[in-house]
Chains A and B, each alone.
Chain A
Amino acid sequence: MRLLRLRLRNFRGVEEREVVFLRDGVTVVVGPNEIGKSSMAEALDLLFTAQDSSQKAEVKAVKPVDRDAGPEVEAEIETGDYAFTYRKRFVKSQETVLQITRPRPEHVTGRQAHERVEQILEQTMDIDLWRAVRIKQGEGLGQAVLGDAQSLGRALDRAAGTVHEGQLETTLFDRAKEEYEAYWTPGGKLKGDFPLRTSVTQHQAALDGIESQMRAVAADVDRDADLTAERTRLADAKGPETARVAELEARWRQIEELTRNVEKLEETEKAARVVAEQAAEASRGRAAAAADLAAAEAERVRLKAAVEAAAPALASARERSEHAATSLADARIARETAEAHARTTRDDLDFLRARQALAEHTRTRETLVAARAALAAAEAAARSNLVDPSAIEAIRLADREVQVARALLDAGRPSVVLTALRDVTVLVDGAPSAMRAGESAPRHTVTERLTVELAGTLRVEVDAGAGDVALAERGAEAERALRAACERAGVTDLAAAEAAATARREAMAARTEQKRRITELLGGDEPGRADQLEMRIALHTARIAAYLESRAGAAMPGDEEAAASEQAAADRAADEARTAESTLEREDRAAREQLAEREVAASEANVRLDLAETDVATRALALEERRAALPDGAIAESLGGAVAAHEAAKFAAAAARLALEGEGPETARALLDNARRVVDGMAENLRALEISQAEVRARLRDHGEDGLAERRDAEVTARDAASAELERWLARAEARRKLYEALKTARDAAHLAYVGPLRDKLTSLGKVVFGASLGLEVGEDLRVRSRTLDGRTVPYESLSIGAREQLGVLTRLACAMLVAEDGGVPVMLDDTLGFSDPRRLEAMGAVLSLAGASCQVIVLTCYPDRYRHVGGARTVLLS
């Protein structure tokens, strides 16, 4: 199809516009925004698709807002064998006019015209392709949907040498796919087989259940037979066993008889033993009694002898004790006397000491008084002496100042040194002074005037001069100060001051010394000490007085020493007396103890002797009585008889036991018990078997009527049928899969084959823009999958916007070029390549030009420069 001319009137904002396009080649329509470029594409669409009477929104939308007029579109078109002009007015004064010029002139209007055009276009134009290769404004980035474009398909097939898919094939493929999808999921898994499989499984499960029930029934039948056999066998075995039990019981009864006999004999033996023991007991008793009596008599004799032996010792002990007591009393008296004397000597000594102490205290007191007086004097001296260290220091300083001042003054004063060159006598201030040759007199400082006279020869007068007034002042000041300081201190001059200071210091020292002495005397410097001293003196005085009174004229030792020695002697005597006394005490105690002991022992022995005599008497009497009742001989006799009887009984019993042992009673009992158990066990088993069999039969009865066999057969049939159905279903599924896969594989191959030409064309166009290393992968849906440039492959979606845009345009151009032979469709590009850089734009221009050689390309743009590189293009400027 070729669009030769398009005219719009009253279409949106366009009052009137007509554009003529190049029939073959590129027409670039340039115009600013809102001038109605895109309206042209829209107008063409409406012209083809909408009836003039259409009330659709898109038709109404193109009515101009400012005028009450119907939008009008007129197009001059060549398509296939046809050439016609087609005009429509919508909305108001609706009109459709078709003027066909080729092959035969025809004039058609209204609905007929619309339908005729539809028919013509249907015949001659691949509408899908036309739509696919158009780029509407703002849609530049999508890939063209080329899959449905039949003409493209045919062209590609032709180029690839493949046969194009016909309607039959497409329908066949669709049907095969539909059938396939009824049985298979997209993931290639069977679907819908589950119910069939479940049915098979269920029937199988039911079958298994019934078969296991049938097996249980068969098992029960077998078990019943086994139980019957077992019961019979057991019953048969029971008989002999029962007989055996009877046999063993008889034997056992025999043994019991023997046992009873043995017991009886043992009883007899026991009785005989008792009797024999009793007789022995009696015999022993009698003998014991006699022996005891003899022993008692012996004891009595022994005790008597002991008592008599002890008597003398007792008497001597008595004597000793008396003697000891007497001695002790004497010693006690002596001690007391000695102690009294010692006390007296001690008291005397104390008295003398006290007197001594008193004298000392008194002396101390006197010394204290003297010291206190001295202290007072020293303090008085110190107080009155005003020359304390600070005062003396001041005086010293003042004196020094005076000295210094003088020195300075003197320094300023003339000084004269007299040196005798020969022995001479000079008069210095009238005073003669002999000097030897070479002797120098000390330097004279002239304070006022110095007169040195050599009698009769020379007089020298040296005047001090005024001297420094300040220095003189200073000297005078210093002397004043010195005088003042001395006055303050109460002294006349420095020497006096020194003396006073020394005196003061001595007084201070004396004071300190006295204080120390006082403290020493009192033994401390606490205030109460002096009082204590007084107290002590008083105390001692009183005590002495008291003692003297008490002694009242008795002779006293002269001094302490004598008193001490007297005391010592008295103490010694007292000690001796004590020692003697204690020795005698011990003796006294010992003697008394001894006496006591012996007296106790004697009394005890007497008591024992009495008891022994009583005992003997009692025993003798008792024995006599017993003998009277039963003589010793009789006892011996009965003992002999009892022992014999016992022996006999023992023998008999032993014999009987032996006989019993020989019968083997334990074994017999064990056998009998065992046999009984065996029979009981058998009876037990039989009962159990009966019960088991009853159970089995009950089960058979219960299940016998289940009709298991027929149910089983029914399930087998059902299962087999379900299996078969599943098989058939699976076969059907497989068949569909085979068919679909075969068709798909063949179709994909075919598609792949015919993708080739498009890919090759696109690549060759693309190389102009992207470079010689360009490689493109195109899918069978005719979309670009990836671009390879300089060895790097990038998927389409990851390319830059500019590249994608360029590829979009190139694809459409390639398609159009491939289809061009058939007449093709115009490529309409509305405002594309906005993202392409100048270099790419230039290349794209070249490609457009190339395309223009075989197709009609219409480009709408705002930018005049963008498409200036399209060689051979017609540019239409809209204003």
Chain B
Amino acid sequence: MSVRFLHSADWQLGMTRHFLTAEAQARFSQARIDAIRTLGRLAQDTAAAFLVVSGDVFETNQVSPQTVRRALEALASVPVPVFLLPGNHDPLDAGSIFRSPTFVSGRPPHVTVLADGTPHAVPGAPGVEVVGAPWFTKRPLSDLVADVCATLEPSKGLVRVLVAHGAAEISFDNPAVIRVEDAEAALADGRIAYLALGDRHSTTSVGSSGRIWYAGAPEPTDYDELDAGNALLIELHDDGRCEVTKHRTGTWRFARERFDLDGADGIDALGAWLDALAPKERTIVKLTLVGTVSLSANARLEALLEHQRDLFGAIERWQRHTELVVRPDDDDFADLSLSGFAAEALAALRAEASGTGADADAARDGLALLVRFATTAGAAS
């Protein structure tokens, strides 16, 4: 008899990203709630017996009641038992969200919070036990997995799924680290059949047993994630095989790119790249722009970005790495037929703009204004 269940983690409901406008943030947050429903549908489609969530269900213990209510509503739609583990973002301390009146009163009966190391039977799945190693504080002082494993006896015929959260290392620097060798030992002697981990947002296998996995976050949260936006379907066969299938749940995307804007094509290339991305409203872009552009080119660039900003979830400019220099060239001013003091002023500003520093920046902006005013005035006369 095989046991089939879904493994997810790091929902971090209530997460905000500072570069999102209020409107984009709302969509982003909604997507993360929707991921729960996606998992529910996935459970249905794959005939999974239950769903385990390995920690960081909520972004903090102080998310708003609205977030909790929406989460509970979405959880209610999941057709299988759900086991939630408190992680380092939402530990089971005195302020735990899992004990707040909103959660307690709204928790659907099929949702269980793994509040200690006691094994839970799974309704509708005989012979299966789910055990949790919850976080009680933000800084545990021991390997929680090892602590729980120590209380378990190997039990033939009983499939135990241990749900835990945190960094799994083969080192001893941090006393709270989950020691992989110990976990693999527990797997070997049958105390546990699978270790469902959370904390890393990219789907990752740990060790060599193939039974220790990070499910990853159901929606990506950052540019650096290698493989986020998944859930895992685990099938534990009688014969000891463990089959792990990755299912895509993510709808949002983070993209980071660098562009060289020397020359006219640079901006065009940028424009084309942006155009190609879809769906734009669920894509977050970070740009590194390098090069030297004229005033008019800069104006073009700004116009392009302003246009695209309305379409994308967010467009960030990576200030730390941007090396974009705006240098006015003669073409910028060719159409202006300024004479007398105006021409003198123009020359003075150009001289100042060629330097560096705040004054030079202001001078460049002044030049841009001059071009604009002179062009409008010239057009009028």
Contact = CB atoms under 8 A, between A and B. Distances in A.
Given A749-B344, A750-B340, A172 B94 contact: no
A797 to B, nearest CB: 29
A603 interface: no
B373 A701 contact: no
B63 to A, nearest CB: 6
A225 B94 contact: yes
B94 A705 contact: no
Contacts of B381: 167-168, 171
Interface string A173-203: 1011001000000000000000000000000
Nearest to B365: A735
Given A169-B341, A749-B344, A707 B374 contact: no
A713 B16 contact: yes
B14 interface: yes
A708 B378 CA distance: 55
A158 B22 CA distance: 61
A168 B380 CA distance: 9
A700 interface: yes
B61 interface: yes
A172 B366 contact: no
Interface string B338-367: 111110111011001000001101111111
Given A220-B94, A713-B16, A714-B16, A168 B369 contact: no
A175 B371 CA distance: 12
A716 interface: yes
Given A169-B341, A220-B94, A700-B95, A705 B370 contact: no
A220 B339 contact: no
A705 B14 contact: no
Contacts of A738: 349, 352, 359, 362-363, 365-366
B377 interface: yes
Interface size on B, as a range, is 35 or more
Contacts of B63: 707, 709-710
Interface in B305-341: 337-341
Contact of A163 (B137, B340, B359): B340
Interface stretch (B41-49, B97-105, B192-200): B97-105
B268 interface: no
B62 A708 contact: yes
A717 to B, nearest CB: 5
A632 interface: no
B96 to A, nearest CB: 8
In this complex, the member of B16, B67, B339, B342 whose beta carbon has the largest number of chain A beta carbons within 10 angstroms is B342
A175 B376 CA distance: 10
B152 interface: no
B64 A710 contact: yes
A169 B370 contact: no
B60 interface: yes
Interface in B80-107: 93-95, 97, 100-102
Interface residues of A, number: 53
A214 B363 contact: no
A720 interface: yes
Nearest to B339: A163
Contact of B137 (A175, A225, A696, A742): A225
B93 A224 contact: yes
Nearest to A165: B340
In this complex, the member of A166, A224, A705, A747 whose beta carbon has the largest number of chain B beta carbons within 10 angstroms is A705
A259 interface: no
A735 B345 contact: no
B288 interface: no
Contact of A221 (B93, B337, B361): B93
B66 interface: yes
A745 B342 contact: no
A425 B228 CA distance: 211
Nearest to A753: B341
A704 interface: yes
A221 B362 CA distance: 50
In this complex, the member of B339, B340, B352, B368 whose beta carbon has the largest number of chain A beta carbons within 10 angstroms is B340
A742 B348 contact: yes
Nearest to B102: A705
A587 interface: no
Given A168-B381, A171-B380, A707 B67 contact: yes
Contacts of B281: none
Contact of A737 (B341, B362, B376): B362
A735 B360 CA distance: 10
A225 B94 CA distance: 8
A536 interface: no
B204 interface: no
Contacts of A171: 377, 380-381
B148 interface: no
B20 interface: yes
A743 interface: yes
A220 to B, nearest CB: 7
B59 interface: yes
B25 interface: yes
A709 B94 contact: no
A393 interface: no
A175 B64 contact: no
A710 B66 CA distance: 10
Given A168-B378, A710-B64, A696 B94 contact: yes
Contacts of A743: 341-342, 345
B334 to A, nearest CB: 15
A731 B60 CA distance: 38
Contacts of A710: 14, 16, 63-64, 67
A167 B379 CA distance: 12
Contacts of A732: 365
Nearest to B348: A742
23 contacts: A165-B340, A167-B381, A168-B381, A169-B339, A179-B373, A214-B62, A217-B95, A700-B94, A704-B95, A705-B65, A707-B64, A707-B65, A707-B66, A709-B63, A710-B16, A711-B64, A713-B16, A717-B18, A720-B18, A731-B362, A739-B369, A742-B345, A747-B342
Instruction: Give the 9 A-B CB pairs with smallest separation, nearest first.
Output: A707-B64, A735-B365, A224-B94, A713-B16, A738-B366, A746-B341, A739-B366, A746-B344, A734-B362
Interface of A: 162-169, 171-173, 175-176, 179, 214, 217-218, 220-221, 224-225, 696-697, 700-701, 704-711, 713-714, 716-717, 720, 731-732, 734-739, 742-743, 745-747, 749-750
Given A165-B341, A704-B61, A739-B349, 8 more contacts: A172-B373, A217-B62, A224-B95, A704-B62, A710-B64, A717-B16, A737-B366, A738-B349
